[in-house]
Amino acid sequence: MSAREGLVVRRIAVSYGRNHLLRGIDFAIAPGETLVLFGPSGTGKTVLLRAIAGLEPAARGEVWIDGRDVSALGPEARATGMAFQNFALYPHMSARENIRSPLAARGVGKAETEQKIAKIAELLRIQHVLDHAPRELSNGQKQRTALARALVGEPRILLLDDPLRNVDAKLRYEMRLELPRLLRAAGAATIYVTQDYREAMALGDRVAILLDGVIRQIDTPEAIYDRPATIAIARLFGDPPINLFPLRPQVGAGGAGMEIGGLALPMAEDESGEGRVLGLRPETITLHREGLSGAVRATLIAITPLHERVVLLLRLASGEEMVASVTGAPPEPGSDVWITADGARALLFDAASGMRIAAGPVREMVA
């Protein structure tokens, strides 16, 4: 394991007294790979990045970078590049001096330094503001300067702490398109922290779900979306959010299906539905203008346009509400529609433990 390139972290734990911020964190990232660290705020994402960078004095466990155990080294000896959520530019230095800092620390020659700064500035399109002080930069320029500073030293490990959090929506959208190219060019093992599921989908080769200081699942973004390990992950990962319905046992239903408000779903044979929660992603629900067999009647309550899709809030005759996401022009609010759901893509969870009832091949990590 130690001979492996890239980043390996083993049994990372951070505690302050009885307050355990992180427990038993294990993963490995290959050079050129991007791992998105995803979770709600206060779950320990930044603490984990700081532990890897060597900035967390209470961190236990091992950090290996390119086959070298750096656990005992200070942050200056780990050869990582890091971008902070609040940019953390040096306010008393120009953008150029900010970007020069990692090169100066390593004693890179003058000509080479200038050449590298020019190259990274061109890549990030900040050549024209290099001589400005950070307070004279827009948020977008600050964020690019911070990224340039993290990238300029060509670090083996790149730690990006929610770098798009504090920039406006347009720039966030642009950077979401641009960052994969930049990260591929950098060739570093990258950890990208975010709370935004779209960013996770757009940027992650793999996604690690961090909840309450423990990694609950590591997989490709698609696999996490389609096969979340728990109800909590299903809720977090996806927008519009997943529909969740507690199921009650059905009598005389032949044991081969379950229904919510008359909406019948073919599910596993030996599943009674007792103590289960059903998850339906909004896009697995299909709208029909007239009744089909198996379709159920619902009232359209509200419509929210979202990019090329529209998000609909529906109420079933039984009073259950659900969110559907469909393409094309929706009917008028208040009108009645007929819906069916894709049973193959429905998710079934155990209500007590929150764990998904496995069906199909799932790679999941549960600590």
What residues line the site for other proteins (CB under 8 A)? Answer: 50, 53-55, 74-82, 84, 86, 88-92, 101-102, 105-106, 149, 153
Q: How far is the CB of 360 from other proteins (least distance, A)?
A: 42
Packing angle between helix 110-123 and helix 139-152, nearest 10 degrees? 130
Closest CA to 42 of 239, 210, 225: 210
**Which CB atom, from 161 or from 219, has the smaller least distance to other proteins?**
161
Q: How far is the CB of 88 from other proteins (least distance, A)?
A: 4
Q: How far is the CB of 106 from other proteins (least distance, A)?
A: 6
d(CA 138, CA 132): 11
Measured CA to CA in angstroms, residue 99 lies from 254, 261, 304 at distances of 68, 60, 43
**Which CB atom, from 188 or from 311, has the smaller least distance to other proteins?**
188
Q: Within 13 A of 234's CA, how many CA atoms are on the CB side?
A: 26
Q: How far is the CB of 41 from other proteins (least distance, A)?
A: 16
Q: How far is the CB of 86 from other proteins (least distance, A)?
A: 6
d(CA 179, CA 173): 10
Q: How many other CB atoms are found less than 10 A from the CB of residue 315?
A: 15
What sign for the dihedral angle of Cα 174, 38, 29, 106? positive
Q: Cα torsion for 80, 83, 84, 89, to the nearest 10°?
A: 110
**Which CB atom, from 126 or from 158, has the smaller least distance to other proteins?**
158
Q: How far is the CB of 51 from other proteins (least distance, A)?
A: 12
**Which CB atom, from 108 or from 171, has the smaller least distance to other proteins?**
108
**Which CB atom, from 104 or from 253, has the smaller least distance to other proteins?**
104
**Which CB atom, from 135 or from 307, has the smaller least distance to other proteins?**
135
